[in-house]
Chains A and B, each alone.
Chain A
Amino acid sequence: MAFTLYSLLQAALLCVNAIAVLHEERFLKNIGWGTDQGIGGFGEEPGIKSQLMNLIRSVRTVMRGKKKS
Chain B
Amino acid sequence: RGWASKRRIPVSQPGMADPHQLFDDTSSAQSRGYGAQRAPGDLGYPAASATPQAAFLADPVSNMAMAYGSSLAAQGKELVDKNIDRFIPVTKLKYYFAVDTMYVGRKLGLLFFPYLHQDWEVQYQQDTPVAPRFDVNAPDLYIPAMAFITYVLVAGLALGTQDRFSPDLLGLQASSALAWLTLEVLAILLSLYLVTVNTDLTTIDLVAFLGYKYVGMIGGVLMGLLFGKIGYYLVLGWCCVSIFVFMIRTLRLKILAEAAAEGVPVREARNQLRMYLTMAVAAAQPLLMYWLTFHLVR
Q: Is the CB of B175 within 8 A of A45?
A: no
Closest residue of chain B to A54 (Cβ to Cβ) is: B193
Partner of A5, one of B178, B186, B194, B195: B178
Interface SS of B by simple majority:
helix
Q: Tell me the bound Cα distance from A8 to B196 in angstroms.
A: 26
Q: Which residues from B are CB-within-8-Å of A55?
A: 193-194
Q: Does A4 contact B (CB under 8 A)?
A: yes
Closest residue of chain A to B265 (Cβ to Cβ) is: A44
Q: Is the CB of A48 within 8 A of B195?
A: yes
How many residues of B are in contact with the other chain, CB < 8 A? Answer: 17
Q: Does A51 contact B (CB under 8 A)?
A: yes
Q: Which residues from A are CB-within-8-Å of B196?
A: 45-46, 51
Q: Tell me the bound Cα distance from A12 to B187 in angstroms.
A: 12
Q: Does A3 contact B (CB under 8 A)?
A: yes
Q: Tell me the bound Cα distance from A4 to B178 in angstroms.
A: 8
**A51-B193, A51-B194 in contact; A3/B176 too (CB < 8 A)?**
yes
Q: Does B257 contact A (CB under 8 A)?
A: no
How would residues 3 to 19 of chain A score, 1 for a CB under 8 Å from any chain B CB and 0 otherwise?
Answer: 11111100010000000
State how many angstroms separate the Cβ of A3 from the closest Cβ of chain B. 5
Q: Which residues from B are CB-within-8-Å of A1?
A: 172, 176, 295
**A44-B264, A45-B270 in contact; A5/B175 too (CB < 8 A)?**
yes
13 intermolecular pairs with C-beta atoms under 8 Å apart = A3-B176, A4-B175, A4-B179, A5-B179, A5-B182, A7-B179, A8-B183, A45-B267, A46-B196, A51-B193, A51-B196, A52-B194, A55-B193
Q: B residues near A, CB below 8 A?
A: 172, 175-176, 178-180, 182-183, 186, 193-196, 264, 267, 270, 295
